[in-house]
Amino acid sequence: MGWGRLYAVSESASQLLSTCRAKADWYEAMNTLGIESAPQLDAEDEIRFWASKLDSIAHPAAKFFAGDWHAEYDETGDPNVCFLSSESVRAFLSQLEQLGERFFIDLFPHDGPHGIGHAWLYEPLCVFLRDACLHGHAVMILWEN
């Protein structure tokens, strides 16, 4: 099972990240930023599912998971990482709220007896992004592919 986390970071992190290309550079920058102490959301394996599904239907919200900037993709199997400006975070939150939870419940059919499948991420993601927007934060996403 994969994993993924979203981190709320200062918009000024973009200055440090703007020169990063390789994943190793991004990881070093994340250490410099003290990312582990930043507000975060444990998205479990959902980033991969959400990104893939939104991309498969060519939905504009899919670009959130690609980020404004991202580490170069490679074949090493290292986790992916990307950065989204506070402006992009606000735009994505607006899209989420316009689509509503029902959109994601329908997007990720779930036949199990409990819960709503992959759509469980909708509400905690909205709460996390609202808080990030309230504080003018950008977001970094780190996930296993």
pLDDT of residue 111: 76
pLDDT of residue 2: 78
How far are the Cα atoms of 31, 72, 82, 88, 102 from residue 25, in angstroms, in the given order? 10, 10, 12, 23, 39
Determine the angle formed by the axes of helices 86-107 and 122-134, rounding to 10 degrees.
170
pLDDT of residue 3: 92
pLDDT in tens, 66-113: 999 999 988 888 899 999 999 999 999 999 999 999 999 999 887 776
pLDDT of residue 115: 66
pLDDT of residue 113: 66
N-to-C CA span, the chain: 10
Picking from 46, 37, 88, the residue whose alpha carbon sits closest to that of residue 67 is 88
Q: Where are the domains of the chain?
A: 4-143
pLDDT in tens, 107-120: 988 777 666 789 99
pLDDT in tens, 12-60: 999 999 999 999 999 999 999 999 999 999 999 899 999 999 999 999 9
The domain made up of 4-143 has a fold known as Hypothetical protein yfbM fold (3.40.1760)
CA distance 50 to 117: 12
